Amino acid sequence: MSKPRIIKKYPNRRLYDTEISSYITLEDVRQLVMQHEEIRVVDARSGDDLTRSVLLQIISEHEDSGQPLFTTTLLTQLIRFYGDALQGFMGSYLERSMQVFLDQQQQFRKQLDNVMGKTPWSFMNEMTERNLEMWRSMQESFIRSQRDGGGGDDDDSAGGQKNSD
């Protein structure tokens, strides 16, 4: 396992990424997390670990915008676990539950890929190509029939009428 990427948080709330020697935003930290980069946020003066509070801040900002992940009921229930005798178990329970969910999600995606034999995008591309090929074939058949017979059965009946006149 690699060493975590150290991000220093200064009193003015600015975040400094020590790996790239540059100030970054909270959104940049979120992107690092999304890229599965292991991070550690520390107070620039005291060296205290602030990782959890920064991650909670990112969650809080995303909860305020768009569709929230946590309902009011769930947040209320979580608050009630603080100070409860089961508080120590709750964190590990939630962590294990999330891991089981992620494992099942990964297994479902593998099964879906096996059933389709492709990723959803390649499946859609293949379907589009097949539909385009059917459309081309249909157009070619129509053009051929117009060129060869000029309308098929209608011409035969019209020709029959001309012969009888």
Note whether 6 and 32 are within 8 A (CB): no
Q: Where are the domains of the chain?
A: 1-69, 95-150
Q: What is the pLDDT of residues 3-30, one digit of tens each?
A: 999 999 999 889 999 999 999 999 999 9
pLDDT at 139: 78
pLDDT band at 159 (very low <50, low <70, confident <90, very high): very low
Cβ(15)–Cβ(8) below 8 Å: yes
State the first-to-last Cα distance of the chain, in angstroms, to the nearest integer: 94
Three-state DSSP state, 152? coil
- Count of C-beta atoms within a 10 Å radius of residue 15: 19
**pTM for the whole thing?**
0.62
Q: Which 8-state DSSP code applies to residue 84? A: S
In this prediction, residue 116 carries a pLDDT of 63
